[in-house]
Amino acid sequence: MNRAIPTEISTEIERRYQFACQLADSAAQRAMTFYRKRQQLAVEHKGGDLQDVVSQADRDVENQIRDTLATTFPQDGFLGEESGGQPREAEFLWVVDPIDGTACFLNGLHTWCVSLAVLYRGEPVIGVVCDPNHQELFHACRGQGAFLNQERISVHGAHSVEEGVMGVGTSHRVTPEDFVPFISHLLGAGGMFIRSGSGALMTAQVAAGRLIGYYEPHMNPWDSLPGLVLVQEAGGITNRYLDDGGLDHGNPVLMSTPALYPQLAEMIVQPLK
């Protein structure tokens, strides 16, 4: 964090960090039981968008996470993709996506994850992304570095977009004009990109040095906040996502290696925070 905090608060953050890793792993294993029988799941579409789906697995896993937190940290706030949130006056707020990449999940792809973050007084201090298909747990706590399972990770060493692969994401919450120019500029500079279907997982892969960066013109907080902590703790740079109500309505996301951030920011047509 940007300011010193009392020892007792550091202890409370550490308690939640250790628990968040266990909780994400447990939730991911529960999600896997649904994944193995995904063809039997009831599926709905959000707001008439056929690309934005939710299944009974999403709701079940989020309920498990919310109920566990209510027992273990009853004073903490909660914000979930499927069930919304409680009042956010609590010092600690858990922000959760039970299955990021639901469309991939339902179609038998391995690019989905459980994503959760913890905020202390409005600042992200913990980020955890669990990928059960590859038995990978990405986790970070403010000031402690970023890790993949037990191994410390760091961002890519690229100084040019030609030296690696960029992760990107988009949705029907934005127009093609908000997204396509970035792809054109990236390709024109000799870069290449991948879109896996799970933004949270791609941000974790930026922290692990597998991708040189990640850009999405609008990203919800339950998908973006874990990666913000992970990438910053892995030595990368992110935009000020939470400015101007990012926690309430989302914002653009850009994160990358320090050397590449200015170059990538120039490729974006919409203003970044």
pLDDT reading at 47 higher than 80 = no
Instruction: Give the mean pLDDT of 20-47.
Output: 88
Determine the structural domain holding residue 125 and report its residue range.
7-153
Indicate if 23 and 149 belong to the same structural domain. Answer: yes
Strands, E, within the chain: which ranges? 43-45, 53-55, 77-80, 84-85, 92-100, 113-120, 123-131, 136-141, 146-148, 151-153, 165-168, 192-194, 213-219, 237-238, 251-256
Choose one of 111, 128, 153: the last residue of a domain: 153
Indicate if 207 and 104 belong to the same structural domain. Answer: no
**Percentage of residues in the chain with pLDDT exceeding 70?**
92
81 is in an annotated binding site: yes
Is residue 206 very low, low, confident or very high in pLDDT (cuts 50, 70, 90)?
Answer: very high
Instruction: Give the mean pLDDT of 81-90.
Output: 72
pLDDT reading at 54 higher than 90 = no
76 is in an annotated binding site: no
99 is in an annotated binding site: yes
Indicate if 37 and 81 belong to the same structural domain. Answer: yes
CATH number at residue 147: 3.30.540.10
Interval 173-196: pLDDT, tens? 899 999 999 999 999 999 999 999
Indicate if 169 and 147 belong to the same structural domain. Answer: no
Q: Quick check: is 273 in a domain?
A: no
Indicate if 60 and 101 belong to the same structural domain. Answer: yes
Mean pLDDT score across all residues of the chain: 92
Instruction: Give the mean pLDDT of 249-270.
Output: 94
60 is in an annotated binding site: no
Is the torsion defined by CA of 102, 53, 65, 169 positive or negative? positive
Structure confidence at residue 236 (pLDDT): 98
Q: Quick check: is 180 in a domain?
A: yes
How many domains, the chain? 2
Structure confidence at residue 63 (pLDDT): 94
Q: Quick check: is 167 in a domain?
A: yes
Distance CA 21, CA 32 (A): 17
Choose one of 108, 127, 153: the last residue of a domain: 153
Instruction: Give the mean pLDDT of 220-225.
Output: 96
Indicate if 186 and 234 belong to the same structural domain. Answer: yes
Indicate if 134 and 62 belong to the same structural domain. Answer: yes
Indicate if 43 and 144 belong to the same structural domain. Answer: yes
Choose one of 120, 153, 186: the last residue of a domain: 153
65 is in an annotated binding site: no
Instruction: Give the mean pLDDT of 205-217.
Output: 98
Interval 129-178: pLDDT, tens? 999 999 999 999 999 999 999 999 999 999 999 999 999 999 888 999 99
CATH number at residue 168: 3.40.190.80
Structure confidence at residue 50 (pLDDT): 41
Indicate if 134 and 203 belong to the same structural domain. Answer: no
Indicate if 91 and 174 belong to the same structural domain. Answer: no
Is residue 271 very low, low, confident or very high in pLDDT (cuts 50, 70, 90)?
Answer: confident
Q: Quick check: is 1 in a domain?
A: no
Chain CA centroid to CA 214, Å: 11
Instruction: Give the mean pLDDT of 58-72.
Output: 95
Indicate if 186 and 132 belong to the same structural domain. Answer: no
Structure confidence at residue 260 (pLDDT): 97
